[in-house]
Chains A and B, each alone.
Chain A
Amino acid sequence: MEKSLIIKKIGEILSKTLKHNNFEISDSLSADDVEGWDSLTHMLIITEVEKEFNIKFKLKELNKLQNVGSLIELVQMKIQ
């Protein structure tokens, strides 16, 4: 899958879960930059990402995520 398509889908998941579009999706975007993306909503976002790409994450992988860029990399690795 093209990286741009993954970015687009993750952006959609974020706006759907957080109910707003006040962010510009990029590799360096992190949870701290996005209103409402905190430890409470994080796992909801992750569940949606798993469902969308039909993948399963490990907790260890999630703990290492730094920003949207590393999430995209992880998704790319999983769907290959």
Chain B
Amino acid sequence: MLFNSIQFALFLPVAFTLYWFVFNKSSKSQNILLLLASLVFYAWADYRFLILLFASILINYYVGLRIFRTEKEVNKKRYLWLGLIFNIGILFFFKYFNFFAESFISLFNVFNAGIKFNALKIILPLGISFFTFQMLGYIIDIHREEIEPSNNLLDFSVYVAFFPKLLAGPIERAQKFLPQIAVKRIFNPEQATDGLRQILWGLFVKLVVSNNCAIYADNIYNGYASANGSTLLLGAIFYMFQIYGDFSGYSNIAIGVSKLFGINLMANFARPFFSTNISDFWKKWHISLTSWMMDYVNNPLSFKLRKFKKVGMSLSIVCTFLLVGFWHGAEWKYLLYGLLHGIYFIPLLLMKNSKRSSLVAKGKLLPGFKETAQMTGLFFLVCLTGIFFRADSITDAVKFITGIFNPSLFSIPVFQYRAIAILTLCFVLFMLVIEWITREKDHPLIDFETKYPVVVRWGVYYALSIVIFIFSGGAQPFIYFQF
């Protein structure tokens, strides 16, 4: 079920009403409703993998308890390995099996082995990269003695399957989520209206900004062979805003929907384009994945490599980002995407002055010249990696990039429906301005209630809703559902 579908528009009010008015007697009944709703939600998208979801819940629940209750360290480790093998195993089978089989066979065929490969028809279960990573973090944290396992199977199932975050995150941490559902939730109108405002902003960013950018990005990417340099550059920029609007829009909707049920999820985006260096960027882009990778990959790896100091740290961060890239999918282009981001970190690590601040132009209306230059430079570096992310293959991406860097870069972009393209760029600009003004806040409409009179508030709600109805850029599925 997509957030921007009719089914969801019917599902959400029904779940909301049952949750607050029928199943509202205790935390147990609330959690039963949340689990049932989540199962319906998942089954609607793909009922075949409900068994996999259940297996993951049961095995990780059991492994978590065993790691905690077993006395000897060696046995704790055994249970941890059991959990790691199960989680990585299902992810490997569903997501990476064909990639590895194909790569090994091509390697053998370099020596004329003449092996033929018939790819298995494996369908990727929705949300698998998200819930498996959540589970991996859960059992590792128990083994690290940072959290205690849940001893309530119902609560644990809700933690894994909670529908707002099931298909594309945020990759939630147990220590933040489980305590929230261990107690009976009491309806808080402020939290719920804040959730609605966040959903409204998410819908605008996804349906208006991202979906309109998608039309142009798709057009330019599909016909890139004959396009001039400036058109290709514009295509790369459109794609960057498409993917940002898509995933940050999704995240705002997911977090907003969750608030309607009295549960706060972690922030997933924090205005990443207003960053002056790559480290800062990743602290604000897909935060739940980056923080996961830092805690469970970069931290142990850099610990192992610490005697090599900055070289060790650089190697560790490159490996971490290779994995970030590979997390997106079993394709060489994603690996290269990750590698580039990892490489971007190296100058930062080697630089003598490591001063970094995460909020650009704090307390000021506008950024200074240096900050603007840094943000613009970083944006184009990220755009460059976006080309590998979006293109069909590395070869296509390289052709696309070489196409940008030729004299036609200084000509006027050529593509259809220019008037709507200019309107789309206006929407992008509007989004950036609003996000800049509210860059210290969780989401742009957060303190609307206290800051503005009712006329202004409702004026903005209506204006945004009308813009969404008129200018929604066609049906586009969420990009991150495929991961």
Q: Given A38-B279, A60-B145, A64-B146, A43–B354 Cβ distance below 8 Å?
A: no
Q: What distance in Å separates the Cβ of A37 from its nearest Cβ neighbour in chain B?
A: 9
Please tell me if the beta carbons of A39 and B294 are within 8 angstroms of each other in the complex.
Answer: yes
CB distance from B304 to the nearest CB of A (A): 8
Q: Is the CB of B354 within 8 A of A18?
A: yes
| B355 contacts across to A, CB distance below 8 A | 18-20, 35-36
Contact of A39 among B298, B306, B307, B352 (CB under 8 A): B298
Residues of B within 8 A of A35 (CB): 355-357
Q: How far is the CA of A59 from the CA of B353 in the complex (A)?
A: 27
Q: Which of A18, A38, A47 contacts B306 (CB 8 A)?
A: A47
Please name the residue on chain A nearest to B348 by beta carbon.
Answer: A40
Contacts of A63 in B (CB 8 A): 144, 146, 299
Give complex CA distance A19, B312 in Å: 20
SS of A interface (majority):
helix
Kindly list chain B residues whose C-beta atoms are within 8 Å of the C-beta of A29: none
In B207-264, the 8 Å CB interface with A consists of none
A31 CB-CB contact with B under 8 Å: no
Known A-B contacts A20-B355, A36-B354; A60 and B144 likewise in contact (beta carbons under 8 Å): yes
B279 x A40 contact (CB < 8 A): yes
Chain A contacts with B in 21-61, Cβ cutoff 8 A: 35-36, 38-44, 46-47, 50, 59-60
Complex Cα spacing A38 to B299, Å? 11
Q: Is the CB of A19 within 8 A of B144?
A: no
A-contact bits for B273-310, CB 8 A (1 contact / 0 none) = 00000010001000000000010001110110011011
Tell me if A74 counts as interface (CB < 8 A to partner B).
no
Residues of A within 8 A of B146 (CB): 63-64
Which chain A residue shows the least CB distance to B352?
Answer: A19
* Chain B residues closer than 8 Å to A18, beta-carbon distance: 354-355
Residue contact B313 to A40, C-beta cutoff 8 Å: yes
Nearest A-chain residue to B355, judged by Cβ: A36
Q: How far is the CB of B289 from chain A (nearest CB, A)?
A: 14
Give bound CA distance, A14 to B294, whole Å: 21
Q: Scan residues 330-354 of chain B and give those whose CB is less than 8 A from a CB of chain A.
A: 345, 348-349, 352-354
- Please indicate the chain B residues that have their CB under 8 angstroms from the CB of A36 in the complex: 354-356
Residues of A within 8 A of B349 (CB): 40
Q: What distance in Å separates the Cβ of B296 from its nearest Cβ neighbour in chain A?
A: 10
CB-CB under 8 A for A44 and B309, given A35-B356, A36-B356: yes
Q: How far is the CA of A74 from the CA of B410 in the complex (A)?
A: 60
A64 to B357, CA, bound (A): 25
Return chain A residues, CB-CB under 8 Å to B352.
19
Contact B306 A19 (CB under 8 A): no
| Cα-based distance from A35 to B354 in the complex (angstroms) | 9
Is B167 on the interface with A (CB-CB < 8 A)?
A: no
Among A20, A41, A46, the most chain B Cβ lie within 10 Å of the Cβ of A41
CB of B317 within 8 Å of the partner chain: yes
Q: A44 contacts B310, CB within 8 Å? A: yes
Q: Chain B residues near A40 (CB, 8 Å)?
A: 279, 313, 317, 345, 348-349, 354
A19 CB to nearest chain B CB (Å): 5
A62 x B303 contact (CB < 8 A)? yes
Per a CB cutoff under 8 Å, which of A43, A50, A59, A60 touches B313? A43
Which residues of A are in contact with B by a Cβ distance under 8 Å? 17-20, 35-36, 38-44, 46-47, 50, 59-60, 62-64
With A43-B303, A46-B306 given, name 13 new contacts (CB 8 A).
Answer: A18-B355, A19-B352, A19-B355, A40-B317, A40-B354, A43-B302, A43-B306, A46-B303, A50-B306, A60-B144, A60-B145, A62-B303, A64-B145
28 contacts across the A-B interface (CB closer than 8 A): A17-B354, A19-B355, A35-B355, A35-B356, A38-B279, A38-B283, A39-B294, A40-B348, A40-B349, A41-B354, A42-B299, A43-B299, A43-B312, A43-B316, A44-B309, A44-B310, A47-B306, A47-B307, A47-B309, A50-B306, A59-B299, A59-B300, A59-B303, A62-B303, A63-B144, A63-B146, A63-B299, A64-B145
A-B pairs, top 4 by smallest CB distance, nearest first, are A43-B302, A47-B306, A39-B294, A36-B354
